[in-house]
Amino acid sequence: MKKHHFLLVLLTAGFLSHAQNKMETGVRAGINSSTFTNMEGSSSTGFYAGFYGELKITDTYALQPEFSFSRQGMNAKAKPYNIDGVQGIMEDQIHLNYFAVDILNKFNYNRINFHIGPTFDVLISSEDYINTGVDLGFTFGVGYQITDQIGIEGRYKKGLLDTIDSDYYYSMNNSRSNTNSVFQIGLTYTFKQ
């Protein structure tokens, strides 16, 4: 039994030392176009910026954890109001600032790469009517390496938790679930050793 444990420790140490040689880090930044599902209004433009580490497991597969700031939201229609006999419908710009942690599976084919994985977002700040301070979701996208260091990426990020209070904003089809829906396009820069 001790022989098996020693062999397992030896294999794990060998894998980790080999993997450390294939770890690359970089930064990413770009533009968000975001909205919430089942809400009336228009998309909002924000931005994202952060850094990543790409752990190359094989020539075509890498595990890529990411840490980013992401400004998301939408231009939403609030429910009718009646203040001192004045009635109307108010447009409200919703801005949510998140710290995002993504764990992506990245598949590389020549200069093209595909990525998919879970995301965990923690709300940093908001002045709007929200239901939760966290969001769980998934992201998937495609990228292209222009050079060995510079790349372009496009992604879709979909939240799974009800984020915005349906009692304050118009919801389509009387839905009670308003989740994040974000399109991202941006650049990446990988630091080479």
Go through the domains of the chain in sequence order and give each one's CATH number.
2-191 (2.40.160.20)
Residues 6+ apart with CB under 8 A from 125: 96, 97
Q: What is the pLDDT of residues 57-67, one digit of tens each?
A: 999 999 999 99
Other C-beta atoms closer than 10 Å to the C-beta of 105 total 15
174 touches 9 (CB < 8 A): no
Q: How does residue 166 score in pLDDT terms, banded at 50, 70 and 90?
A: low
Other C-beta atoms closer than 10 Å to the C-beta of 99 total 14
Residues 6+ apart with CB under 8 A from 22: 55, 56, 57
Q: What is the pLDDT of residues 121-140, one digit of tens each?
A: 999 988 767 778 899 999 99
* DSSP state at residue 42: E
Q: How does residue 164 score in pLDDT terms, banded at 50, 70 and 90?
A: confident
Q: What percent of the chain has pLDDT over 70?
A: 74
pTM of the model: 0.78
Question: In the prediction, which pLDDT does 8 show?
Answer: 46
| CA 123/CA 17 separation, integer angstroms | 36
